[in-house]
Amino acid sequence: MPSPPDELLGFLRSARDGLSITDLLKRRPGFTRRTVQRWLNELVAQGRINALGGGRSRRYLLAVEAVAATIEARDRFPGHIPLSADSRDILAYVDQPLTVRKPVGYQREFLAAYQPNRTWYLSAPLRRQLHKMGDTGQTRLPAGTYGRAVLNRLLIDLSWASSHLEGNTYSRLDTRELIEHGRAAQGKAAIETQMILNHKAAIELLVENADTAGLNRFTVLNLHAALSENLLPNPADEGRLRQHGVEIGKSVYRPLGVPAQIEEGLDLLLDKANRIEDPFEQSFFVMVHLPYLQPFADVNKRTSRLAANLPLIRVNLCPLTFLDVPEQAYSRAVLGVYELTRIELLRDLYVWAYERSTQEYLAIKQDLTEPDPLRLAWREVIKQAVREVVRQPERAPLKVIEACLSGHALGADRDSVESLVIDELRRLHEGVLARYGLRPSEFVEWQSKQRGA
C-alpha cells in the first residue's frame, strides 16, 4: 500500500494542470489540511513536485510537468493586455506551428496603399486618447525640451526595456549602474553590455538633435549605426542599407532581397512618414513599416522602436519607453505585421505600452524644474564652448571660452552664458559626453591636464 505522500503523487500524475490542496482533500477526505500541507512541503523540498501560484490559487504539479507548465505560461500572450476581436484573430494565426502558416514575401501594396493624413492606423478617438495620456504641458516649448528634462531617466528606462525585448538579461538596476557610473554587470556577456551602451548613444542622438532631426535617411541610418555598433558580424553593415537577403527567425515571412528594391522601399516609407501630421500616427507608422521592410542586416526592430520616439520627443509628448512590454507579446504583434500585413495586434500593444509609459513619466512631472531659459536659448553656443575647451587641453579654459563666445552676438547675456559654460565644465562626466560630441579619450586627456595644472 502506498504511503500518503506517494498517494498524493499518484493524484498529481493524473492531473496535467496540477491540483490545489482543496482538490487533494476532495480525493482523500480522511486527510487533514495541515497534514497534507506538510507532506506537500516535503515533496517540494525533495524536488519531486513544484508549487505554482500563491494563496488559495496555489497548485501543485509533478516537477517535469510544472516546468513545462511554467514555460507554456511564460510563452503565452499576457492576459492583462486588452485585445480587440481582430487582434485575437491575428494571435490565433501566429500561434499556429510554422508548418501550418503560409510562407509570404514582402507585399508592396501594404505601403503603397497608405495615404498620409487620409489613411489612419490609429482612429481619431484613439489619437485623442493618446494625446491626452501623453500631454506634458510643454507642447508649445522648443522641440526636445521635455526629452532633455527627463533624459537621465529616459536613458535608463528605454535602454533597459528595448534591450530586454531582444533577450538582454541586464536588470533595470544593472542598466542604471552601467549608464550612470560605467560599471558593467558581473556575469553578463559583452554583447549585452554593448547593446545597452548603444541604446544610450542612440537615445542621446535623438534627444539632443530633436529640433533638427527628421524621419529621413540621415537620421535613420545614423540611428541604426549607433544601435548596431560592434554588434554585427560585418562592421560595414552598421548604418548601411542591407546588401543581401535575410530570414526572420520563427517566421514564414521573407523580406525583400534586392538592394535597389530595399532602397526604393525606404525612400517611399520615409517620404510617407514625413508627410504624416499627427505625431502618434507617425510614430506608429514607423513601428509598423521599418521592421516590415527590414532595411538593415539586423537591429531593425530596435531602430524602429527608437525612431518611433522621435515624433513624440519633437513635440514634447511623453516618450514611449516599452516598460513592462513582454517579449512574447511584442514578437507576436510584429509577426502579425510580417505574415498578415495586419496592424491591429501591434496597435493594441502600442496603446497599452504608451499608457504604461506615461504613468511612469507623468508621475515624476511635478519633480521636474522649469528649463533655464538662458541655457535653452544658447544651448548650441554652450555645447560648442564646452567641446572646444575639452579639445584644447593645453590652453587656459577661460581663454578658449572667451574666443568661442566672441563669435556670437550674446549682448547682455554674455556673462551669464560664460557662467553656464563654466558650470557645465564642472559637471562634465562620461555619462554626458555624447551631448557635446566628445569622445571618452578626449575627456580623459583633458581631465589629466586639469589635475596637473
CA 192 → CA 166, 184, 185, distances in Å?
10, 9, 9
Q: Domain range holding 343?
A: 85-367
The C-alpha atoms of residue 212 and residue 251 are separated, in whole angstroms, by 37
Same domain, yes or no, for 117 and 58? Answer: no
Choose among 158, 129, 147: nearest CA to 323.
158
Helices (H), 29-74: 33-45, 63-74
Residue 80 within any structural domain of the chain: no
Extract the C-alpha cell encoding 404. 568661442
Same domain, yes or no, for 22 and 70? Answer: yes
Same domain, yes or no, for 11 and 100? Answer: no
Cβ count near 65 (within 10 Å): 17
Write down which residue in 74, 99, 114 finishes a domain: 74
Residue 323 within any structural domain of the chain: yes
Same domain, yes or no, for 59 and 91? Answer: no
The C-alpha atoms of residue 257 and residue 36 are separated, in whole angstroms, by 62
Query: Is the distance from CB of 192 to CB of 170 less than 8 angstroms?
Result: yes
The C-alpha atoms of residue 102 and residue 93 are separated, in whole angstroms, by 10
CATH code, domain with 56:
1.10.10.10
- pLDDT tens by residue, the chain, 453 residues: 567 788 888 788 777 678 888 888 888 888 888 888 898 888 888 888 888 877 777 888 877 665 555 545 556 788 889 999 999 999 999 999 899 999 999 999 999 999 999 999 999 999 999 999 999 988 889 999 999 989 999 999 999 999 999 999 999 999 999 999 999 999 999 999 999 999 999 999 999 999 999 999 999 999 999 999 999 999 999 999 999 999 999 999 999 999 999 999 999 999 999 999 999 999 999 999 999 999 999 999 999 999 999 999 999 999 999 999 999 999 999 999 999 999 999 999 999 999 999 987 876 655 555 567 788 788 899 999 999 999 998 998 899 999 999 989 888 889 888 988 988 888 888 878 888 889 888 988 898 887 766
Residue 259 within any structural domain of the chain: yes
CA 277 → CA 5, 115, 168, 272, distances in Å?
67, 12, 34, 10
Name residues whose C-beta falls within 8 Å of residue 301's C-beta, 6 or more positions apart in sequence.
165, 166, 291, 334
Q: Residue 263: beta bridge partners? A: none
Same domain, yes or no, for 204 and 260? Answer: yes
Write down which residue in 351, 367, 383 finishes a domain: 367
Please name the residue that has the C-alpha cell 517566421.
251
CA 126 → CA 31, 120, 122, 221, 314, distances in Å?
56, 10, 6, 30, 20
Same domain, yes or no, for 115 and 264? Answer: yes
Q: Is the pTM of this model over 0.85?
A: no
